[in-house]
Amino acid sequence: MLRIGLDVMGGDFAPQAAVQGAVMAVDALGGDSRLVLFGDEKQIRDILREENCPAERFDIVHTSQVIEMGDHPAKAFQQKTDSSIVVGFKYLDAGKIDGFASAGSTGAMMVGSMQAIKPIKGVIRPTISTTIPTVAGGRALLLDVGLNVDCKPEVLEQYGLLGSIYAEAVLGIKNPRVAILNIGEEESKGNIQSKAAHDLMRQSKAYNFVGNVEGSHLFSGKVADVIVCDGFVGNTLLKTCEGLYRINQAMHIGSDSPFWQEMNYEHVGGTPVLGVGASVVVGHGCSSPLAIKNMVLSMERCAQVHLTEKLQQAFK
Amino acid sequence: MLRIGLDVMGGDFAPQAAVQGAVMAVDALGGDSRLVLFGDEKQIRDILREENCPAERFDIVHTSQVIEMGDHPAKAFQQKTDSSIVVGFKYLDAGKIDGFASAGSTGAMMVGSMQAIKPIKGVIRPTISTTIPTVAGGRALLLDVGLNVDCKPEVLEQYGLLGSIYAEAVLGIKNPRVAILNIGEEESKGNIQSKAAHDLMRQSKAYNFVGNVEGSHLFSGKVADVIVCDGFVGNTLLKTCEGLYRINQAMHIGSDSPFWQEMNYEHVGGTPVLGVGASVVVGHGCSSPLAIKNMVLSMERCAQVHLTEKLQQAFK
């Protein structure tokens, strides 16, 4: 039995959107999976009733507090001990759930990941990643997308391994091609950081390093399955592409293109926190029910393939 | 009389595409402007004949050598003294032309800009920029897009001024809004570099600093007219967007959208080198005739508005 934890109080449209997403997810989950909802029990039951979904299909853990987007993450995590996020991490740490997902305060989710769960031994810096669509049809993994905005080369080198294991285990890509995002294909190109990281990654035998990838090939799928960069660059790229997606949407461009549809964050669902000792997924603040559903499903997949154990093994 | 210099030996499809672009440009130039072509005179005259364009419409400066893409830029600039690029810079330095444009070796063009022309006094690092379309209809300026991949905060601060003057003089934007590309809107967000640059820019009285801009608003036109970042980030963003443009083209998406049409580098024509003592524009290696034409026109505009003098004045 897999038990997938979901914070239903997190996100701009919580608890409504989160519970609706849970209802959408529950039919798609494997028979061996059970969704555990953390939040205000009365509100949860009211929304489930509106959705005509029997509450018995879920486990509900009542919590009385909410960490708000404006709260200081570390302080709130310490003080709001009966908040959905803090209780969720307690359950995760105690092994009562196999993963925890939230579209709430990213800061508080990171505090929980780093303090309640802790980094995997050997991982210098855990990371958050996202999958991006490729015209080849599959998805590629981009990391880091905003957690570590100043990365030492050693950190980028490890992202290659974290990403490689995720791409193989969760995305099902055999021997994934790992590249470092750079301004040219040639080895000699780059800034100080990317050149040093390239050198380290080239020597790594832990994954299939294929060299540099330029921005022009991020979405082509031709060069790499795992694209490593620091969190400043990754976050900027992600937001730029989201901006272009939204421009397209407003102008009704690409709406019948599978590629651009897949650019919709709702299909990604959330960004896994890689490198900590349990499965944690952080969702977009403005998550819709569809985004919540996909966040739950990607969390289930991480648990099914024992991603955390594989990462722990790799860093031993 | 404005004399616009064009290297017709530069670019993947030179001299054919460059001369064809010159022919397209010559009708669009102001009556007071004259195009000066640098390259193999026989080849130029042959192509002009094919294009049914009288050679008298141009000045032709015969050169016998070409700096190839594979050449070492600094060595080639020193040794190929009768190449179109080196001769072009000699003319520019001597004031015999008012600007010089090439789609050839970017490296050699930078050597020429820095050694034959030299940075404007007070400019720490000259920069290359590009204009990007906005859904608001106009264009915004993004800089640096690849010249300085490791930037000190002081360099980014100066990019604000270089960009502001360009946007006002060349793009015609009054009191342009200058922002630093960052991972959040709040002042406290960013990596070490962007935070330090933000602090410096906030104190600058030389331009209209509006704070941080996120990638999601690069193309919205809502936040900024001039977007400052280091060359690693800018180059990556530029190539990523070019990649998406090409994906769209291949899938026939957005072909009737003015916004996506404007994303085509052919409409941009080239990236001006800002902060050196004369007008220099570097074009895309794969420049088409249309791209060459627009490069020539943007060069003419820089000369018409006395961009270099304005920059020199600002850094006095």
Interface of B with A in 226-245 (CB under 8 A): 229-233, 235-244
B240 and A250 within 8 Å at the Cβ level: the answer is: no
Share of chain A above pLDDT 70, in %: 100
Over residues B213-237, mean pLDDT: 97
Q: What is the pLDDT of residue B283?
A: 93
Asked whether the predicted pLDDT for residue A285 surpasses 90, the reply is no
Q: Dump pLDDT digits (tens) for A12-70.
A: 999 999 999 999 999 999 989 999 999 999 999 999 999 999 999 999 999 999 999 88
pLDDT at B7 over 90: yes
Residue B157 is predicted with a pLDDT of: 98
Burial of A285 from C-beta contacts in 10 A (0-12 / 13-18 / 19+): middle
Closest residue on chain A to B250 (Cα): A135
User: What is the DSSP secondary-structure string of B176-212?
Assistant: -EEEEE-S-SSTT-S-HHHHHHHHHHHH--SSEEEEE
Bridge-based pairing state of the strands B139-143 and B33-39: unpaired
Residue B187 has pLDDT above 90, yes or no: no
Q: Which residues of B touch A247 (CB under 8 A)?
A: 135, 219-220, 259
Residue A113 has pLDDT above 90, yes or no: yes
Architecture of domain B1-121+275-305: 3-Layer(aba) Sandwich (3.40)
Nearest chain A residue to B238 by CA: give it.
A215
For an interface test with B, the pick among A232, A233, A242, A253 (most B C-beta atoms closer than 10 Å) comes out as A232
Q: What is the mean pLDDT of residues A260-289?
A: 91
C-beta atoms surrounding A150 within 10 Å: 13
| B28 vs A: CB within 8 A | no
pLDDT at A269: 80
Predicted complex ipTM: 0.92
Which residue in A150, A216, A241 is closest to B191 by CB distance? A150
The pLDDT of residue B225: 98
Residue of B191, B195, B271 to mutate, interface with A, max A Cβ within 10 Å: B191
Whether the predicted pLDDT of B13 surpasses 90: yes
Cβ contact B236–A190 (<8 Å): no
**Nearest-CA distance B191 → chain A (Å):** 5
| pLDDT for the residue B255 | 86
The encoded tokens of residue A249 equal 């949407």
CB contact under 8 A, B243 and A217: yes
Buried b (16+ CB within 10 A) or exposed e, A229-268: bbbbbbbbbbbbbbbbbbbbeeeebbeebebbebbbbbeb
| DSSP-derived secondary structure for A25-81 | HHHHS-TTEEEEEEE-HHHHHHHHHHTT--GGGEEEEE--B---TTS-HHHHHHH-T
* Statement: residue B2 has pLDDT above 90: yes
* pLDDT over 90 at B284, yes or no: no
Per-residue model confidence (pLDDT) at position A155: 97
CB contact under 8 A, A243 and B181: no
Percentage of chain A beyond pLDDT 90 is 90
Digit-coded pLDDT (tens) for B235-282: 999 999 999 999 999 999 988 899 999 988 888 888 899 999 999 999
With 90 as the cut, is the pLDDT of residue A255 above it? no
Q: Is the CB of residue B212 less than 8 Å away from at least one CB of chain A?
A: no
Residues of B numbered 71-100 whose beta carbons fall under 8 angstroms of chain A's beta carbons: which are they? none
Which of B237, B242, B250 has its CB closest to that of A236? B237
A181, A190, A254: residue with CB nearest B253: A254
Q: What pLDDT shows up at residue A293?
A: 96
CB-based contact, A136 to chain B, within 8 Å: no
- Strands B33-39 and A33-39 turn out to be unpaired
Q: How many whole angstroms separate alpha carbon A238 and alpha carbon A131?
A: 10
Q: Which residue in B has a C-alpha nearest to residue A250's C-alpha?
A: B135
**Kind of pairing between the strands at B208-213 and B58-62:** unpaired
Contact between B300 and B34 (Cβ < 8 Å): no
Q: Nearest chain B Cα to A222, which residue?
A: B243
CATH code matching the domain that covers B124-267, chosen among 3.40.50.720, 1.10.20.10, 3.90.1150.10, 3.40.718.10: 3.40.718.10
| Confidence check: pLDDT of B28 > 90 | yes
CB < 8 Å to A242, chain B? 215-216
Find the closest chain A residue to B216 by CA distance.
A243
Residue ranges per structural domain of chain B: 1-121+275-305, 124-267
CB A297 within 8 A of CB A22: no
pLDDT computed for residue B267 by the predictor = 82
pLDDT of residue A268 exceeding 90, the answer is no
Q: What is the predicted pLDDT for the residue at A266?
A: 84
Whether residue A220 has pLDDT greater than 90: yes
Residue B39, φ and ψ in degrees, nearest 5? 165, -170
CATH class of segment(s) A124-268: alpha beta
Residue B23: band (very low, low, confident or very high) from pLDDT cuts 50, 70, 90 = very high
β-sheet with A33-39: strand ranges across: A58-62, A33-39, A2-7, A99-102, A279-282, A271-274, A127-133, A139-143, A226-228, A177-181, A208-213
| B256–A contact, CB cutoff 8 A | no
pLDDT tens digit sequence for A1-20: 999 999 999 999 999 999 99
Strand pairing class (A279-282; A271-274) = antiparallel
Question: Given this model, what pLDDT does residue A256 score?
Answer: 87
Residue in the structure block whose two tokens are 């730029």: A240
Tens-digit pLDDT profile for residues B124-164:
999 999 999 999 889 999 999 999 999 999 999 999 999 99
The two domains B1-121+275-305 and B124-267 share their CATH topology (first three levels equal): yes
Q: Which CATH class is domain A1-120+275-305?
A: alpha beta
